């Protein structure tokens, strides 16, 4: 999955982000709504996978777009709107997670698409000779979320952006304002931890 | 690449593929509708951008570490208070200096006066001591410590004399 800021990712029919941003700055709220429609799924996915809680994710999603709208006049255009919005989302979510650490929070999952059962990875898991029991989607979902929860906020962010959202290292570096080397290092470290946590599902 | 390195690479890829299964988690189908409605109700009638006090509040609360925010706020308030106190002190100081200077001048003039004048002055100072009327406080013997029988006539009243 590539970000819309990547070449060729934008559709030719809809206006580009910059144009919509300019219109929204000029007071055209519909233009901002178009931007919300364009990115809400990605931002939701990011926030949901970082928090592991869908209600929190929905609240945060609203807050992030409100923050973006109110900061539109400060968007200089140095980076793409996509990167800028992601940066707001990551920072806002990390701040939220820091505050939330004081209280114990349960998971609240989204529904897993049944199409996952046909994914080659999951089919491989099921087809494998399992000495104990058969793997179910719900069980795998719980384990994946619990494993992600073991990571620090920054490591989890990198894993979500790269492994789930499919963003390239360079884009993640721009979002998190750090070097590609740092991103690679965090990814490596995070995968080592995940490997331990998900040992029973290891190929 | 060694076989261990290849294994590590394979493990990493395996973990990546497993984690990628999370993309099959689907949000509520009405999420977009709810989000757009909520945003419209809060933003549709407001212009993009923030007022100055909202900017200040956002700047104070947007710090990565709350302690940094608190420290920044403390420094700002402390600095403002110090500046205010200093400024106030500086504004009052010239007046104070003027008063003390005039007093010094008067003292110098007095020290330079002849002996007769000094004597007269000292007498005048003595005379200027304000007269304090003595106060008589009447006390009953029962208020005193029982140090013995009180000797007094039938019409006498114990009296304490002080200024």
> What 3-state DSSP class applies to A7?
coil
Helix (H) or strand (E) holding A112: strand A111-112
Backbone dihedral angles phi then psi of residue B143, each to the nearest 5 degrees: -80, -15
Residues 165-184 of A with CB under 8 A from B: 165
Angle at A4 (CA atoms; ends A16, A110), nearest 5 degrees = 125
Q: Residue B43: how many CB atoms within 10 A of its CB?
A: 18
Backbone dihedral angles phi then psi of residue B135, each to the nearest 5 degrees: -110, 130
Nearest to A40 among B12, B35, B47 (CB): B35
Backbone dihedral angles phi then psi of residue A11, each to the nearest 5 degrees: -80, 150
pLDDT at residue B134, as a whole number: 74
Q: Which residue has the higher pLDDT, A151 or B118?
A: A151
Tell me which chain A residue has its CA closest to the CA of residue B13: A191
A21, A38, A110, best to mutate vs chain B, most B CBs in 10 Å: A110
Model pLDDT for residues A95-129, shown as the tens digit of each residue: 998 887 655 557 777 777 777 777 887 777 777 65
Model pLDDT for residues B121-140, shown as the tens digit of each residue: 777 766 676 777 777 766 66
- pLDDT confidence tier of residue A4, bands split at 50, 70 and 90: very low
**Predicted TM-score (pTM) of this structure:** 0.65
Greatest mean pLDDT range, A167-181, A186-200, B98-112 = A167-181
Is the predicted pLDDT of residue A63 greater than 60, yes or no? yes
Instruction: Decide: A161 and A167 in contact? Cβ < 8 Å.
Output: yes
What does the pLDDT average to over A52-60?
91
Q: Do A191 and B15 touch (CB under 8 A)?
A: yes
Is the predicted pLDDT of residue B85 greater than 50, yes or no? yes
Angstrom distance (rounded) from CA A25 to CA A1:
29
Is the predicted pLDDT of residue A10 greater than 50, yes or no? no
Instruction: Decide: A140 and A128 in contact? Cβ < 8 Å.
Output: no
- DSSP per residue, A70-106: HTGGG--SSS-HHHHHHHHHHHHHHHHHHHHTTS---
- Arithmetic mean of pLDDT over chain B: 71
Prediction ipTM score:
0.81
Distance from CA of A147 to the nearest CA of B (A): 9
Q: Do B21 and A122 touch (CB under 8 A)?
A: yes
Q: Which residues of B touch A24 (CB under 8 A)?
A: 48
Model pLDDT for residues B106-124, shown as the tens digit of each residue: 555 555 556 777 777 777 7
Q: Which residues of A touch B19 (CB under 8 A)?
A: 144, 148, 159, 163-164, 194
> A107 — contact with chain B (CB < 8 Å)?
no
pLDDT at residue A76, as a whole number: 84
Angle at B117 (CA atoms; ends B114, B119), nearest 5 degrees = 110
Q: Do B25 and A110 touch (CB under 8 A)?
A: yes
- DSSP per residue, chain B: --HHHHHHHHHHHHHHHHHHGGGGEE--TTHHHHHHHHHHHHHTTS-SS--HHHHHHHHHH--SSHHHHHHHHHHHHHHHHHHHHHHHHHHHHHHHHHHHHHHHHHHHHHHTS-HHHHHHHHHHHHHTSPP---EEEE--GGGS---S-----TT---EEEE-
Q: Do B35 and A58 touch (CB under 8 A)?
A: yes
């Amino acid at each position: 999955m590539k970000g819309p800021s990547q070449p060729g990712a934008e559709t030719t029919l809809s206006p580009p982000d910059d144009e919509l941003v300019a219109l929204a700055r000029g007071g055209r709220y519909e233009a901002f709504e178009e931007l919300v429609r364009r990115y809400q799924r990605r931002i939701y996915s990011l926030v949901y996978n970082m928090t592991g809680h869908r209600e929190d994710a929905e609240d945060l999603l609203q807050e992030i777009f409100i923050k973006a709208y109110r900061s539109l006049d400060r968007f200089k255009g140095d980076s793409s709107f996509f990167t800028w919005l992601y940066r707001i989302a990551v920072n806002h979510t990390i701040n939220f997670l820091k505050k939330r650490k004081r209280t114990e929070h349960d998971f609240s999952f989204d529904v897993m698409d049944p199409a996952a059962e046909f994914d080659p990875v999951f089919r491989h898991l099921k087809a494998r000779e399992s000495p104990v029991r058969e793997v179910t989607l719900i069980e795998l979902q719980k384990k994946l979320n619990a494993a992600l929860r073991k990571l620090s906020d920054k490591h989890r962010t990198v894993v979500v952006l790269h492994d789930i959202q499919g963003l390239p290292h360079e884009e993640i570096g721009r979002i998190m304002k750090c070097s590609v080397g740092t991103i690679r290092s965090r990814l490596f470290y995070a995968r080592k931890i995940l490997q331990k946590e998900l040992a029973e599902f290891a190929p | 690449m060694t076989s261990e390195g290849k294994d590590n690479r394979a493990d990493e890829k395996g973990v990546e593929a497993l984690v990628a299964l999370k993309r099959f988690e689907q949000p509520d189908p009405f999420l977009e509708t709810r989000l757009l409605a909520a945003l419209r109700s809060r933003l549709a009638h407001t212009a993009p951008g923030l007022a100055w006090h909202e900017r200040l509040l956002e700047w104070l609360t947007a710090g990565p570490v709350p302690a940094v925010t608190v420290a920044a706020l403390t420094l700002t308030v402390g600095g403002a208070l110090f500046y205010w106190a200093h400024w106030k002190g500086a504004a009052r100081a010239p007046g104070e200096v003027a008063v003390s200077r005039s007093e010094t001048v008067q003292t110098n003039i007095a020290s330079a006066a002849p002996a007769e004048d000094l004597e007269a002055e000292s007498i005048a100072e003595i005379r200027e001591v304000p007269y304090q009327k003595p106060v008589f406080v009447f006390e009953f013997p029962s208020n005193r410590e029982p140090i013995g029988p009180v000797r007094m006539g039938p019409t006498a009243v114990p009296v304490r004399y002080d200024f």
